[in-house]
A and B are shown apart, each in its own frame.
Chain A
Amino acid sequence: QSVLTQPPSVSAAPGQKVTISCSGSSSNFRGNYVSWYQHLPGTAPKVVIYEVNKRPSGIPDRFSGSKSGTSATLGITGLQTGDEADYYCAAWDQSLRTWLFGGGTKLTVL
C-alpha cells in the first residue's frame, strides 16, 4: 500500500477540467519537491509537474499543480483524449529521506 493516497480513477468529458488529489502526512509535503508523472501504456512515465507547480518545457499550461498542508493536487483543464493515462504523484520526504509515490490515478476522458 502506497504512503501517498490517490483516487484510483477519475473521469471527465473532453474540454472539461479534472483534479487529482494526493494525500499524505504533513512531513511528506513539508518541502517543495512534489512532482506528478503521466504514464501512458507502453511508454516510460513523463514528468508533467515538478516542485509543486512548475511545468517542464513542452508541457502545456493546461497542467497545473498545487499543495496545501497534507495534500497536493494536479489539475488538468481542456481535457483531450490524449490525456488519458495513469497519473502518479511523488514527494521527497526530507524527514524520512525517502521518495514516496502515490498508487496512481487512471484518468479517463469520456
Chain B
Amino acid sequence: QLQLQESGPGLVKPAETLSLTCSVSGASISNNDYHWGWIRQSPGKGLDWIGSFYYTRITYYNPSLKSRVTMSVDTSKTQFSLKLTSVTAADTARYYCVSGRPGVADSWGQGTLVTVSS
C-alpha cells in the first residue's frame, strides 16, 4: 500500500525558501501511470493545488505559484521535493504530498504545517 510522509522545517522566515520532502513507500515514483505532487491548505481556507508531475513526462504548476515553485525527484526515486521561494505569511499552510491516477489524489500524506514568520 502506498504511503506518503512529508518532512521539513516547520518555520521559515519571510523571503526565504520553503523546502519540503515527501518520502514514498509502497510504490515507485518512476511509475508513469501515477502523478505526484503537492497540495496545501492555509489556516481556515480551502485546498490549493501547488503542482504535479509524472516521472518522465511533463510537470504542471499552479499558474499563481509557477514563478516560485520547483519540484524534483531524488536519484533513489523514493523521495520527491518541493521548493517555494520568496515566501510570505500567505504561504503559511499545511502542505500535503499526494499521488494518484490522472485527475485524482488517491493518496495523501498526513501533511506538515509550515509557518512563515520572523
Do they bind each other? Answer: yes
Residues of A within 8 A of B (CB): 2, 31-35, 37, 39, 43-47, 50-51, 56, 88, 90, 92, 96-104
Chain B's closest residue to A34 (CB) is B103
Q: Known contacts being A2-B46, A101-B46, A104-B47, is A35 close to B108, with CB within 8 Å?
A: no
Residues of B within 8 A of A (CB): 39, 45-49, 52, 60, 62-63, 96, 100-106, 108-111
Chain B's closest residue to A33 (CB) is B103
A-B contact count (CB 8 A): 65
Chain B's closest residue to A44 (CB) is B108
Query: Are the CB atoms of B104 and A97 closer together than 8 Å?
Result: no
* 15 new A-B contacts at CB < 8 Å, known A37-B105, A39-B47: A44-B96, A44-B108, A50-B104, A51-B104, A56-B106, A90-B47, A90-B49, A90-B104, A92-B102, A99-B49, A99-B60, A99-B62, A101-B46, A103-B46, A104-B47
CA distance A37 to B106 in the complex (A): 10
* A61 to B: closest C-beta gap in Å: 18
CA distance A102 to B45 in the complex (A): 11
Chain B's closest residue to A88 (CB) is B47
